[in-house]
A and B are shown apart, each in its own frame.
Chain A
């Protein structure tokens, strides 16, 4: 028997996350941080700063960036790349909002094992 799964995983409502805030989604491969910007866009990153592994979900969200709570690295929510003079990249997971629900890319969630 074949199990058919959709390509997107519903992880909750847009309104579950505060504006300019973040929540985590737990997965067997570690936490994923899901961010909501001032303009109600949703982004998802591995919840680890490329610098020292800080939980990005706990940072301050501004524009399309988050500032890591441990050492103030600024990470792009879109690409996961460190901004400014710092270098490093956190894997990003495709995310979208449909009818007020937040959907994450299932393939990207699973592919993180290789990363």
Chain B
């Protein structure tokens, strides 16, 4: 007589299990299948194509009534199992029907996790789990102007959002984390994904925390309110924040349960006659929500039931693909950075492609791809097999077409390209044209090739390819021009990067790293501050000012000292102060027990030894006395040192103090490539030491002598003469234009004298002194930038609580 097998749940795992059993041990079991959903097995992962309208429900049914009948399966659909009686070996469903079993399989799957915010139980709040949910989302599209909010920017949430958008629904996705699909994507890929999703007209709010769902039992859902007070209107809210194994039934029956139903390698629960399979299972500490592991489990359990007791499930390595048209995403394995890991990054900016392999001991342990996922299965296979890729390492990122081919040498890959292969996309130059030019004209340098063919003369991203091509064509005689790249994250120089930021309109660090094919996923402490400066200097008000890419001093607006305390230097315009100001400083020193007070070389007062958490309080007190930040910590305008000038001095020729104050009021708050110090002296005796400053003015009877590019630090340099101005106003205009040109052209951390050495005096004089239109335009750009950045950072933090997290410990543990 055949054994009685009862299967609870007709999900994807149990469907596959039944196929395995009937194939390997036909007739051995008398099967009863009970399912809470009013239907049999269908391919649940194809719900997204059903939602998108690419498939119908009928097309995704995996087992129909005829199939069940032909295998003698007794089906009970739309019935919930109420109880398992392990002693009697029977189960009872909600209609009271009792089923005896010899063997029982629990395949109850998982439940969507519903965040218990107020309003979560309103009509119109759904999960994305079954056909009913899918049908509700499709139906919403029929309503004109329908709006939906999807909570959760993971795999399921994005598929739901994209599906509804296809039906014309106005969709907003709200996601708690800063990056979409953060468990599968790194930041770079997540950023590309976001753009791609947004291009479908879907709005995305990241770092958005749901406070409550608005609406009433009568009206249903009307919207969602976030913790920051934002309200978003919605006719439907889809919660797709995760799933939890459905263990209620197993738990009630007294089976051992952790996060899921605990099973051994034979998928047996703590009761030897009861098995569990699928998403409800916890195996070796892992739970799975993807189809591949479920099928692997079903296969093992099928073998067990067919009598192969050695069949064992050993856990699965999983990979993910997003089923949204136009968003090709693939991720597998562990792709976090770590010291014992290396990464290979490939970016093709023009095609929007990003691929990253994470290696450990010459084996691929993780892969993330966006835009072109054709090689996903190839990498996934290498990952699962633990293949040593040292032999093919140089070309593995190009996929199986290159890896292990004629040679694992990038030069050979270039040599193997056909003559008509395009090398330079900007200028449409193919390999044949370049090779011809090299051989027929005897070109030997990159500059010559650029001049003759235009290849790599625009965006420069193909420079490496052109050089490889030259190496292949010229052989030993080619010596690569040595340029110093910005850092290990790129082959581009600082100047290349500055030009490309302008040419390509790059306004955020993730965009830049993708467009310029950065070799690391999030840069380093060398490139990030430089990139941040270049972008905010180029695109004031448009570029994202990334605080986390700034050095600590610019992040907390004070100077870090050797013991981790800070120093505070308020601005003293032109070095002039008053009794009230000095009193306010004295009061702060008493109140906060400032250990050291010192006069600086820039004519102001430095309070040293301040605890970080005291900074906002000190700034508040100083602010009441009218002080603003002195930016003593900034790659920006520091001080304008002055002498007393003609108001007091018997030799003074002009109001040097007054001009110094005017200059400081015009220039303060500006970010520059390196620190900028000015001085104005009232006569050639030069008591303000103006001729060793970045910009110095020496007043004479007939006007103002302006010189620049001095220094008195690592290098000591006397300033070089720029020009003479006849009036204060003319001097101001020239100095603002000069500072702006420096801001636009210099390499990060280069003071003015290095910039002068790089570009030459003629160039600067032409733009700032001779060409009046250019001077005016430079000044206008400077003033525009100042309209955005001339904000007292101390006031923002002391009074408005900006960046409060920087100054407070997150917790105290006793």
On whether the two chains bind one another, the answer is yes
**Interface of A toward B, CB cutoff 8 Å:** 9, 11-12, 15-21, 23-28, 31, 34, 37-41, 52-55, 58-65, 67, 69-70, 72, 74, 76, 78-79, 81, 83, 100, 104, 109
Known: A59-B525, A60-B548. A37 touches B337 (CB 8 A): yes
Identify the interface centre among A12, A26, A31: most chain B CB within 10 Å of its CB.
A26
Identify the closest chain B residue to A55 (Cβ).
B564
Known: A28-B814, A60-B529, A70-B560. A37 touches B336 (CB 8 A): yes
Known: A26-B811, A63-B522. A54 touches B564 (CB 8 A): yes
Q: Which residues of A contact B556 (CB under 8 A)?
A: 58
Q: Which B residues, 650 to 688, have Cβ-Cβ distances below 8 Å to chain A?
A: none
Q: Which of A19, A41, A69, A104 contacts B548 (CB 8 A)?
A: A19
A98–B520 alpha-carbon span in the complex (Å): 28
B325 is an interface residue with CB less than 8 A from chain A:
no
Known: A60-B529, A69-B552. 12 other contacts (CB 8 A): A11-B811, A18-B805, A25-B813, A26-B813, A38-B186, A39-B336, A40-B177, A58-B552, A59-B525, A64-B339, A65-B337, A76-B339
B493 is an interface residue with CB less than 8 A from chain A:
no
Identify the interface centre among A28, A39, A52, A55: most chain B CB within 10 Å of its CB.
A39
Min CB–CB distance A89 → chain B (angstroms): 12
Q: Which residues of A contact B560 (CB under 8 A)?
A: 55, 58, 69-70
Q: Which of B178, B523, B814 contacts A62 (CB 8 A)?
A: B523
Q: Which of B336, B338, B525, B563 contacts A60 (CB 8 A)?
A: B525
B337 touching A63 by the CB < 8 A rule? yes
Q: Which B residues, 551 to 570, have Cβ-Cβ distances below 8 Å to chain A?
A: 551-553, 555-556, 560, 562-564
A70–B564 alpha-carbon span in the complex (Å): 9
A60–B548 alpha-carbon span in the complex (Å): 7
Q: Which of A11, A15, A54, A78 contacts B338 (CB 8 A)?
A: A78
Q: Which residues of B contact A78 (CB under 8 A)?
A: 338-339
A25 touching B810 by the CB < 8 A rule? yes
B564 touching A61 by the CB < 8 A rule? no
A16 touching B810 by the CB < 8 A rule? yes
Interface size of B by CB at 8 A reads 43
A60 touching B528 by the CB < 8 A rule? yes
Q: Which of A18, A64, A65, A69 contacts B547 (CB 8 A)?
A: A18
A18 touching B186 by the CB < 8 A rule? no
B805 touching A23 by the CB < 8 A rule? yes
1/0 contact string of B789-814 vs chain A (CB within 8 Å)? 00000000000000001001111111
Instruction: Classify the secondary structure of B's interface with A.
Output: loop
Identify the interface centre among B187, B552, B563: most chain A CB within 10 Å of its CB.
B552
Min CB–CB distance A41 → chain B (angstroms): 6
A-B contact pairs, 16 of them (CB 8 A): A17-B805, A18-B547, A19-B548, A31-B809, A58-B564, A60-B525, A60-B549, A60-B551, A61-B548, A62-B520, A63-B337, A64-B336, A69-B560, A70-B560, A78-B338, A109-B813
B382 is an interface residue with CB less than 8 A from chain A:
no
Min CB–CB distance A78 → chain B (angstroms): 6
B207 is an interface residue with CB less than 8 A from chain A:
yes
A53 touching B564 by the CB < 8 A rule? yes
1/0 contact string of B18-52 vs chain A (CB within 8 Å)? 00000000000000000000000000000000000
Min CB–CB distance B515 → chain A (angstroms): 18
A53–B560 alpha-carbon span in the complex (Å): 13
Q: Which residues of B contact A60 (CB under 8 A)?
A: 525, 528-529, 548-552
Known: A18-B547, A69-B552. A23 touches B186 (CB 8 A): no
A100–B176 alpha-carbon span in the complex (Å): 10
A26 touching B805 by the CB < 8 A rule? no
Q: How many A-B residue pairs have CB under 8 A?
A: 122
A34 touching B810 by the CB < 8 A rule? yes
Identify the closest chain B residue to A109 (Cβ).
B813
Known: A28-B814, A40-B177, A78-B338. A20 touches B521 (CB 8 A): no
Q: Which residues of B contact A23 (CB under 8 A)?
A: 805, 808-810
A60–B813 alpha-carbon span in the complex (Å): 25
Q: Which residues of B contact A9 (CB under 8 A)?
A: 813
A15–B208 alpha-carbon span in the complex (Å): 10
Q: Which residues of B contact A21 (CB under 8 A)?
A: 548, 805
Q: Which residues of A contact B811 (CB under 8 A)?
A: 11-12, 25-26
A104–B812 alpha-carbon span in the complex (Å): 12
B521 touching A52 by the CB < 8 A rule? no
Min CB–CB distance A5 → chain B (angstroms): 11
Known: A25-B812, A38-B186, A109-B813. A69 touches B339 (CB 8 A): no
Q: Which of B339, B549, B562, B805 contacts A70 (CB 8 A)?
A: B562
Min CB–CB distance A82 → chain B (angstroms): 10
Min CB–CB distance A102 → chain B (angstroms): 8
B524 is an interface residue with CB less than 8 A from chain A:
yes
B178 touching A19 by the CB < 8 A rule? yes
A100–B182 alpha-carbon span in the complex (Å): 13
A11–B814 alpha-carbon span in the complex (Å): 12
A74 touching B525 by the CB < 8 A rule? yes
Min CB–CB distance A45 → chain B (angstroms): 13
A39 touching B551 by the CB < 8 A rule? no
Q: Which of B207, B521, B547, B809 contacts A15 (CB 8 A)?
A: B207
A63–B812 alpha-carbon span in the complex (Å): 27
Q: Which residues of B contact A70 (CB under 8 A)?
A: 560, 562
A13–B207 alpha-carbon span in the complex (Å): 13
B339 touching A39 by the CB < 8 A rule? no
A100–B175 alpha-carbon span in the complex (Å): 13
B179 is an interface residue with CB less than 8 A from chain A:
yes
A67–B177 alpha-carbon span in the complex (Å): 24
Min CB–CB distance A37 → chain B (angstroms): 7
A74–B337 alpha-carbon span in the complex (Å): 14
Identify the closest chain A residue to B523 (Cβ).
A62
Known: A39-B186, A100-B176. A18 touches B548 (CB 8 A): yes
Identify the interface centre among A19, A21, A53, A72: most chain B CB within 10 Å of its CB.
A19
B522 touching A27 by the CB < 8 A rule? no
Known: A18-B548, A59-B552, A64-B339. A38 touches B809 (CB 8 A): no
Known: A20-B548, A61-B548. A67 touches B336 (CB 8 A): no
